[in-house]
């Protein structure tokens, strides 16, 4: 079949004959580039929608992910966007540990970084217990930061006991760290040697 040709005159006066489909493809690519869109940039959006279709309702157990969906967390501070998944059950009461010592576990939002710091420092039972927890084949649980516990209270309060405090991995001072009360959402400070309730959490990246 004979190709349709388009005659193009360049600014320099050259006359070119170009197949019509090449001109059309070039025009579409240029138009997309003008509005800041490329074919590669569109692909992840399609994958993201497909991924989201498998995400259970907030509060529901997430099959194969080791716990309950506590909601979406946008990317921030170098952490990619993800969902928080709280373990299905508490793992008992533990001390925070390290009373009298300043810890590097001071992030209010990054419980994983806090937990890694606590493990490196040693002597932190609550954090250690979380990292030992396994479910659905996952062993990447950690002690949630203060903001992650707060997200649990906002999105999934029925998953937690109301007659106790839960430890976060966020230090307040050398002697105290932040716990969470799931009865009224209160986040106070408590002495590190107190044995408070512990609930592991992990991340599902999208």
- C-alpha radius of gyration, the chain, whole number: 26
pLDDT in tens, 112-167: 999 999 999 999 999 999 999 999 999 999 999 999 999 999 999 999 999 999 99
pLDDT in tens, 156-171: 999 999 999 999 999 9
C-alpha dist (Å) from residue 17 to 20, 23, 139:
9, 10, 63
* Average of per-residue pLDDT across 88-95: 98
Complete domains list, the chain, with CATH: 5-52 (no CATH), 61-205 (3.10.100)
What's this model's pTM, rounded to 2 decimal places?
0.75
Q: What span, in angstroms and rounded, lies between the C-alpha atoms of 34 and 103?
A: 50
Considering only CA atoms, which of 109, 60, 90 is closest in space to residue 163? 90
Considering only CA atoms, which of 122, 123, 143 is closest in space to residue 132? 143
pLDDT in tens, 24-39: 434 333 333 333 333 3
User: Is residue 66 predicted with pLDDT exceeding 70?
Assistant: yes
């Amino acid at each position: 079949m004979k190709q349709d040709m388009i005659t193009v005159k360049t600014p320099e006066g050259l006359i070119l004959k170009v197949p019509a489909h090449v001109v059309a493809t070039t025009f579409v690519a240029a138009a997309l580039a003008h509005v800041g869109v490329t074919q590669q940039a569109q692909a992840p959006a399609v994958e993201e929608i497909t991924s989201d279709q498998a995400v259970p309702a907030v509060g529901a157990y997430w099959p194969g992910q080791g716990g309950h969906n506590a909601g979406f967390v946008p990317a921030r501070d170098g952490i990619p966007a993800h969902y928080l998944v709280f373990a299905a059950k508490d793992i008992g009461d533990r001390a925070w540990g390290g009373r009298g010592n300043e810890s590097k576990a001071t992030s209010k939002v990054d419980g994983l970084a806090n937990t890694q710091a606590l493990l490196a420092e040693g002597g932190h039972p609550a954090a250690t217990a979380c990292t030992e927890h396994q479910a659905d084949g996952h062993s990447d649980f950690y002690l949630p930061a203060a903001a992650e516990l707060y997200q649990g209270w906002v999105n999934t309060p029925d998953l937690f006991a109301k007659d106790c405090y839960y430890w976060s991995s966020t230090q307040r001072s050398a002697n105290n760290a932040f716990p969470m009360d799931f009865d009224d959402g209160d986040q106070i400070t408590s002495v590190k040697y107190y044995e408070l309730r512990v609930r592991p959490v992990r991340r599902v990246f999208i």
